[in-house]
């Protein structure tokens, strides 16, 4: 209801601007006009709305006539901060104002039907309370919702119901890191008194990336995210190296059956997924357009999420976990595998689509990035998904090898040529966000920004950060710094080593000829060979 209220008020500000031939606020561009003064920057559109909700409507009951919102818009308009981007109202088509008013009337009708919201009758909140106080009593629980209004509502109502040690984090939270450390102190290397720890964290997707929350192993999706990848990102906050629980438990709230029939959410999600598949194409199981796949997806059924796009799956952590599990099963591997030479190869039977017979090649690009390619016998590419390829290579130690394809090495050669000809590139100048370069730059840059102008910043640190951004890390520096990052070393240790490498000119490659002379390095390859069942 709060989100509906905010939408009506936002529309009303646009309507007021158009009716009075005023400029329409369209977004914050970060640029200030020449005559800007701090007195003008009283507040922005969203701050005004949030303040009104907090001060004037604590019981979630809103006006039901459009005139009330238009009067509010008239008083708010002069206070919108000047750094917002503006567009003259004459640029909008004539029917825009009519469409806005129509939207407002529909939304007001929805508010009228809902009436005053009574939180004590909220069955969804009842279920969450039961989950926290009974099913997972005294355990740390991470609750995600798409909307900051919902997050604040959940937190406030649970506190009213007597649940303690609870916190809420949204995009407007200034002390998010402090709260994260209190919720997950062990995984963040923090020491927190027992009475100060947080057991229930309510959050928007602002916490779905870049945070260590693996002191918890329970994730609740209070509402269904429209972007499917959010489910994976959310679970990824607890499903990380350092997680001590054998299982990660994910709960997702579905709309009640009656509501789902009205809004037809599952079918709309299904249609959207099919449309995406037609545009971008995909191997992923839930792009098959089967409604059962969508239900399995939201129920976190085992395996459904495994084929998601690589950009949001922590492949480095997954590979590291595979290695950790392997050496736990056989300590000899820790001695045997590092002793193997590069360019080693083998082949396994093909349990996949028979037309995908070919070779998977693992190589390092000239930039030092790890890259997997899966190429068919005819030179076509099976998939560019690094995670799909990694999963396809999996096999038991007891699985027998099969005879290599006659053109195995020719396929490897074609794969390397594809990499060299920039057929596959890491995303952005920093590469994958799970790579050493990206993680190193992000960690150092954030530290520099937080401590800029203090005595904690070593001389030339900013120069080193710029070098990491603009150039390729040298192999020795990359390997050593990668090890420190995996071991979650202190920022001081990382900075000391970075500065040492910079001072000795061993941090990055700045000479074009040195980089251009480097070619992709073949680490190993695995054939995927069609064979009879009795040969597997």
Q: What is the pLDDT of residue 95?
A: 86
Name the pLDDT band for 259 (thresholds 50, 70, 90). Answer: low
The distance of Cα 105 from the centroid of its chain, to the nearest Å, equals 36
Distance CA 529, CA 350 (A): 5
Q: What is the DSSP letter of 184?
A: S
Q: Higher model confidence: residue 309 or residue 133?
A: 133
Condensed to tens digits (0 to 9), the pLDDT of residues 117-135 reads 777 878 899 999 999 999 9
Distance CA 233, CA 313 (A): 8
Alpha helices in 189-347 (DSSP H): 229-236, 257-263, 265-280, 291-298, 315-329, 333-339
Helices and strands of the chain, counted as H and E runs: 20, 14
Name the pLDDT band for 307 (thresholds 50, 70, 90). Answer: very low
Name the pLDDT band for 164 (thresholds 50, 70, 90). Answer: very high
Name the pLDDT band for 366 (thresholds 50, 70, 90). Answer: low
- Both tokens of 478, joined, read 């990359």
Please give the average per-residue pLDDT across 363-373, as a whole number: 74
Please give the average per-residue pLDDT across 252-271, as a whole number: 61
End-to-end CA gap in the chain: 59
Distance CA 374, CA 275 (A): 26
Distance CA 6, CA 16 (A): 15
Q: What is the pLDDT of residue 148?
A: 85
Alpha-carbon distances of 258 from 224, 255, 261, 264, rounded to whole Å: 16, 8, 5, 10
Q: What is the pLDDT of residue 410?
A: 94
Q: Reduce the DSSP state of residue 105 to 3 states and report it.
A: helix
Distance CA 387, CA 283 (A): 11
Name the pLDDT band for 321 (thresholds 50, 70, 90). Answer: low
Please give the average per-residue pLDDT across 397-402, as a whole number: 88
Percentage with pLDDT > 90 across the chain: 25
For residue 141, list its beta bridge partners.
200, 218
Phi-psi region of 146 (alpha: psi -120 to 50; beta: other; left: phi over 0): alpha
Q: Is the pLDDT of residue 278 over 50?
A: no
Condensed to tens digits (0 to 9), the pLDDT of residues 491-524 reads 988 998 999 899 888 898 776 545 455 567 888 9
241: number of Cβ within 10 Å:
16
CA-nearest of 350, 341, 294 to 523 is 341
Distance CA 27, CA 67 (A): 25
Q: What is the dihedral of CA 51, 53, 54, 55, to 10 degrees?
A: 80
Phi-psi region of 380 (alpha: psi -120 to 50; beta: other; left: phi over 0): beta
State which of 28-42, 83-97, 125-139 shows the largest mean pLDDT. 125-139
Q: What is the pLDDT of residue 56?
A: 41
Name the pLDDT band for 459 (thresholds 50, 70, 90). Answer: confident
Contact (Cβ atoms closer than 8 angstroms) between residue 331 and residue 351:
no
Condensed to tens digits (0 to 9), the pLDDT of residues 349-362 reads 988 778 889 999 98
User: In degrees rounded to 5, what are phi and psi of residue 208?
Assistant: -80, -5
Distance CA 322, CA 415 (A): 24
- Both tokens of 38, joined, read 């701090």
Q: Reduce the DSSP state of residue 202 to 3 states and report it.
A: strand
Distance CA 242, CA 433 (A): 19
393: number of Cβ within 10 Å:
15
Q: What is the dihedral of CA 290, 295, 300, 303, to 10 degrees?
A: -20
187 CB-near residues (< 8 Å, 6+ apart): 212, 213, 214, 215, 240, 242
- Both tokens of 142, joined, read 């991470």
- Both tokens of 517, joined, read 């002379």
CA-nearest of 282, 257, 252, 287 to 269 is 287
Contact (Cβ atoms closer than 8 angstroms) between residue 220 and residue 128:
yes
Name the pLDDT band for 275 (thresholds 50, 70, 90). Answer: low
């Amino acid at each position: 209801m709060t989100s509906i209220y905010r939408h009506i008020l936002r529309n009303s500000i646009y309507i007021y601007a158009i009716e009075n031939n005023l400029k329409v606020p369209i977004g914050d561009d970060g640029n200030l006009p020449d005559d800007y003064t701090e007195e003008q920057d009283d507040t922005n559109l969203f701050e005004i709305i949030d303040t009104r909700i907090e001060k004037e409507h604590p019981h979630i009951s809103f006006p039901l006539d459009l005139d009330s919102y238009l009067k509010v818009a008239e008083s708010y308009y002069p206070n919108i901060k000047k750094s917002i981007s503006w567009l003259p109202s004459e640029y909008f088509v004539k029917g825009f104002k009519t469409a806005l008013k129509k939207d407002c009337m529909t939304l007001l009708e929805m508010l009228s039907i809902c009436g005053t919201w009574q939180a004590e009758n909220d069955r969804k909140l009842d279920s969450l309370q039961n989950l926290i106080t009974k099913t997972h009593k005294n355990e740390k629980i991470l609750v995600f919702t798409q909307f900051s209004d919902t997050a604040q509502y959940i937190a406030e109502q649970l506190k009213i119901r007597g649940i303690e040690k609870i916190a809420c984090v949204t995009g407007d939270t200034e002390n998010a890191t402090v709260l994260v450390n209190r919720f997950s102190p062990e995984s963040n290397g923090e020491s927190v008194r027992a009475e100060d720890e947080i057991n229930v964290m309510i959050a928007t997707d602002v916490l779905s990336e870049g945070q260590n929350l693996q002191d918890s192993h329970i994730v609740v999706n209070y509402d269904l995210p429209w972007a499917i990848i959010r489910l994976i990102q959310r679970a990824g906050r607890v499903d990380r190296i350092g997680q001590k629980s054998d299982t990660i438990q994910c709960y997702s709230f579905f709309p009640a059956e009656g509501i789902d029939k009205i809004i037809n959410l599952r079918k709309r999600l299904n249609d959207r997924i099919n449309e995406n598949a037609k545009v971008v194409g995909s191997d992923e199981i839930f792009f098959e357009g089967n409604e059962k796949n969508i239900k399995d997806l939201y129920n976190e059924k085992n395996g459904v999420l495994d084929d998601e796009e690589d950009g949001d799956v922590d492949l480095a952590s997954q590979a590291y976990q595979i290695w950790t599990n392997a050496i736990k099963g056989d300590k000899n591997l820790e001695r045997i595998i590092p002793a193997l030479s590069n360019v080693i190869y083998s082949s396994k039977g093909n349990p996949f689509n028979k037309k995908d017979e070919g070779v998977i090649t693992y190589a390092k690009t000239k930039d030092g990035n790890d890259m997997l390619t899966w190429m068919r016998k005819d030179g076509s590419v099976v998939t560019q998904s690094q995670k799909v390829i990694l999963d396809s290579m999996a096999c038991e130690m007891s699985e027998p090898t099969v005879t290599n394809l006659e053109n195995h090495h020719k396929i490897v050669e074609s794969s390397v040529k594809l990499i060299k000809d920039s057929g596959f590139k890491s995303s952005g100048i920093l590469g994958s966000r799970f790579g050493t370069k990206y993680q190193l730059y992000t960690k150092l840059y954030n530290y520099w920004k937080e401590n800029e102008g203090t005595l904690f910043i070593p001389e030339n640190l900013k120069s080193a950060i710029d070098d990491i951004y603009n150039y390729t890390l040298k192999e020795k520096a990359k390997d050593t710094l990668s090890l420190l990052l995996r071991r979650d070393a202190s920022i001081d240790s990382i900075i000391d080593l970075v500065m040492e490498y910079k001072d000795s000119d061993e941090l990055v490659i700045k000479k074009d000829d040195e980089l251009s002379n480097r070619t992709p390095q073949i680490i190993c390859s695995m054939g995927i060979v069609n064979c009879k069942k009795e040969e597997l």
